[in-house]
Structure 1
Amino acid sequence: MNDTTRYLVPEAVDARFNRMVAALARRGISLMGSRVLAVRGRKSGEWRTTPVNLMTVDGVRYLVAPRGHTQWVRNIRASGGGELRLGRRVEPITVTELADADKPPVLRYYLRKWGWEVGRFFEGLDKGATDEELLAVAPGFPVFRIG
């Protein structure tokens, strides 16, 4: 799983869940920190949206891509930012991608908070994973610091 091109296509059940989470966020209801991330397409320039789990660790906010190098990841890398939306609130953001060596504590927190939802994407790892295990899979899980 040490792959910088890792991308897991959402299954039908995941797509339905994502649509539900996004619909709630558009109405101003956050499920455990969920937001709608809007990022301009790197080719079209049009806004693209996806639900994300916004996470705060030690006062710093992060976005983690549990499915790997998705389109939103590629778009946010190209643009350097986007918007976090919740109801009528729109927050412009800029992001910095974390180096693989800096990801283990963030990934562990992410698994602690949302392992019930995204744990299957981590192929057997959970919140108890060692730093070495998390470092081994880090290239497949983009992490962005907001700010």
Structure 2
Amino acid sequence: MAAQHGTRHYRKTGVFTGTVVNGAVSRLIRWGIGPAGARTLAVRGRRSGEWRTTPVNPLDFRGERYLVSPRGHTQWARNLRAAGGGELRIGGRTDRFTAVELPDAEKPAVLRAYLKRWRWEVGAFFDGVTPSSTDEELLAIADRHPVFRITPEK
């Protein structure tokens, strides 16, 4: 069952982050240096069909890999939802994957793990929710943050 998307929460990237920070991180990833594990997500646009790319922070948790959208229902999350898969890239390596969006009820443990790993970078987008927040507090924001379980293609 797909997650509910009623709130369509989205925090747009600022000019500095969108141009300077993401540009620098993207260059490092292209050179094969994924700062703190970052990768470039490539996914086909849901309308254009053209490849779209953005830096992301994959999360390895309990033997599975996830992509969490800290800024909410972003263009990349909407595209991934429509495409059902994409690629994670670093240097010359491309890993194709399929993606399944988690229902909100399954998100709290993943969101907690994501915040433990990436809070220093994305904590401001979670409205005061932290890794030590209760499951109920995490569930209360779950609809604002798409979470995808990604599985490598064989």
Query: What range is the shorter-chain TM-score in?
Result: over 0.9
The one-letter amino acid paired with 1:12 is V
Give 1:109 shift: 0.8
The one-letter amino acid paired with 1:64 is V
Partners of 2:31 and 2:37 in 1: CA distance: 14
| Pairing partner for 2:7 from 4, 8, 16 | 4
Matched, 1:146 2:116: no
The one-letter amino acid paired with 2:52 is R
Partners of 2:111 and 2:73 in 1: CA distance: 15
Give 1:92 shift: 0.8
Q: Moved runs in structure 1, 4+ residues, more than 6 A?
A: none
What corresponds to 2:141 in structure 1? 137
Moved more, 134-143 or 19-28: 19-28
1:11-54 deviation per Cα after TM superposition (whole angstroms, max 9, x unaligned) = 12322222211111111101121100000111111100000001
Unaligned runs of 5+ in 1: none
% identity of equivalent residues: 57
1:69-103 deviation per Cα after TM superposition (whole angstroms, max 9, x unaligned) = 01111111111001100000011110000010110
Report if the CA contact (8 A) 1:4-1:69 is conserved: no
Partners of 1:132 and 1:107 in 2: CA distance: 12
Q: How does 1:42-53 map to 2 (within 5 A)?
A: 42-53=46-57
SS at match of 1:103: helix
Matched, 1:35 2:30: no
What corresponds to 1:118 in structure 2? 122
Give 1:3 shift: 5.6
What corresponds to 2:28 in structure 1? 24
